[in-house]
Amino acid sequence: MIMRRPLPLTVITAVSSLLLIGAVVTRAGDEVNPSPSITSVSISNRSVELGLALNRPFDWRRMKFVSIRTFQNDPPSFPPTRHELTFGHHEAGVFEWFQWDFIELGQFEITGEFTLQASTFWGGRNIIGVFNPVTNLLSFDGLDYVPYMQTPNVTVRTSVDMNSWQNIDLSDQVPSEFTWGNPVTIRFSLTDARQGFFTVEVGGN
């Protein structure tokens, strides 16, 4: 069970004519800001698009790694698949490696800040995994993997006077996962009742 810890609020105290704010991207080697931050605001055709940097710390055990390379499915008429890796998601010290239509299991040990050693249960293959903090890619068994993390709860509220606040319906507008190190994009419509101020609250995960 994952305990949820509330994080400080990120508040946009500006009207709907907000200008674009320079993007901030988190890298594994950077000093991570413990609070989320707004990286961009774009308003077009009465639609608001927010870029939200969640600034989650790098953690092998809370990430899913998905291969950049795609593989032909069986049957070929199905969409192509990608390999996926998780480390310690369901059992401490055990990794799960989805390949095509089967999952290979094994043990792993974190040997450095960005390195680990894995050994498959079947065949006893030893594999070194290296995460590159510059490219934000994991190199594992000859493939490059992109890190993903579960998106925490995000609540957006609006107010015309900063005294009374209303929630904005974000149904299907917040992705369930995000690429670690990149901002999450949140979209919602801008009606006359929403002209004014916005706040964004991000929960822990």
Query: What is the C-alpha separation between 136 and 153, in angstroms, rounded?
Result: 24
Residues 70-97: tens digit of each pLDDT: 998 888 888 999 999 999 999 999 999 9
**Residue 69 tokens, joined:** 């390379």
Contacts of 81 (CB under 8 A, 6+ apart): 70, 71, 73, 100, 101
Of 204, 201, 205, 200, nearest in space to 12 by CA:
200
Query: What is the C-alpha separation between 148 and 203, in angstroms, rounded?
Result: 17
Note the pLDDT of residue 195: 63
Residues 176-190: tens digit of each pLDDT: 899 998 999 988 887
**Residue 96 tokens, joined:** 């799960």
Note the pLDDT of residue 194: 59
- To the question of pTM greater than 0.85 for the whole model, the response is no
Residues 20-30: tens digit of each pLDDT: 223 334 445 55
Note the pLDDT of residue 74: 81
**Residue 64 tokens, joined:** 């899913």
Residues 103-149: tens digit of each pLDDT: 999 999 999 989 999 999 998 899 999 999 899 999 999 999 999 99
